[in-house]
Structure 1
């Protein structure tokens, strides 16, 4: 028995590559996060597209704080151990009718991390088959599959790996209620379809990496959210100030410019200019 997960859940993660329906947030906590998100969207609509993207845990204090939630970290610790770096936080919202289709992919395809990192999807709204919930192919976490590179949806100039050959008949929908989480292995083949419903899908995704881990290419960075880092394999990131401040913007820019060879952006190709979503003014 782990801190939060049962032995059966932990065994299921190792067998299938994911564990789902983990209760993390109370209804009041969900309501507060939704309110913070919607208030920001209403007050600063010009900033949503970039501020909700890569490493928004360096920009928005409430994203950082959710990533440090005790129940969430208890579940992560049960899977990767007690010394934990939060190496990304990002919104993944789909409005009603959104055509965004995150095709089949593995998050560790372009840069491998050993020991593995995990990704946690925290639902702020129902995640259903109709509104584009995560879909996964159980058991595909055993190795990196052949892939092709393409531009990510809504992420201009960012190359993403798409698995070439997928047996979609094996896919499982990771249906979640608000406040529940799913955690999956970085090698798991997964994706999500367009939102065909009249309801909004809201979620925050986090990457958690064992502090002892190494990348096979370049050097990543993260915030130490539990335990200790005796290894210093990853650069250390600052804690954001409250609100979207100038300091937060500049520090995130420095981190992404310095540690640009990470699992989010992939290895730097010959002659490639480092680009990432940033303040456009």
Structure 2
């Protein structure tokens, strides 16, 4: 696994339509996501998030501009024979990925991706075992059909199938959708672990609490254009920008805003724990003044 920066250079994508103009889904977008960063890609429905991420994995090619993933360039001229190199570097976990499970057993399903990239059967099995172990998947269920598992376990198998290919860049599309609270926490903890390992994670999500917890960088899209590129704290401190883009601040920031209206200033905490710490500091200071 190597470090991989993702750089967008004036990227555009136009879907072909009934008329000659088609639909412009991404408009002249430029941004850089440093290697090892967890970046949240957010925006209202139809803002171009999924289109942008599909270009990173070369599932579709930009109609203008280029995307740099490490030392690989993706543009309108990228040849089909070069796509395998992109797929080796980039892993894409689609929304509800468990719907794509197909093999007779868990271990076979997870090993399919590495084998498809050229590993022999034993190497692929070892990669599959490493990925499943990282996800705390029960060893006694490796020979079970993935379709017999619980929803959370099926999600872990699908995610393991991508992690087994050891991508440098991991794209997650609404990764916690449909999971119960336990499954959500397991997945969010995994994303934190991947960040610690230096994986570049690009995460499409509508969950602002997850953005606040996981992301070091946020890209906000609106009608295909990039309208914000920066830190979560800066985004959530700008209520006008949030409103214009149909976004809502995390619960902790909303509560802090109510406190500010009541005369208690705690800034824009990105988590409830951070909010509690700041309140404790405020209250401690007030006690010392008495």
Tell me if TM exceeds 0.5.
no
Range into which the TM-score falls when normalised by the shorter chain: under 0.3
Q: Which has the higher contact order (CA 8 A, sep 6+)?
A: 1
- Structure ID, larger Rg: 2
Which protein has the bigger strand share?
1
Normalised TM-score (structure 2): 0.27
Give 1 or 2: higher helix fraction: 2
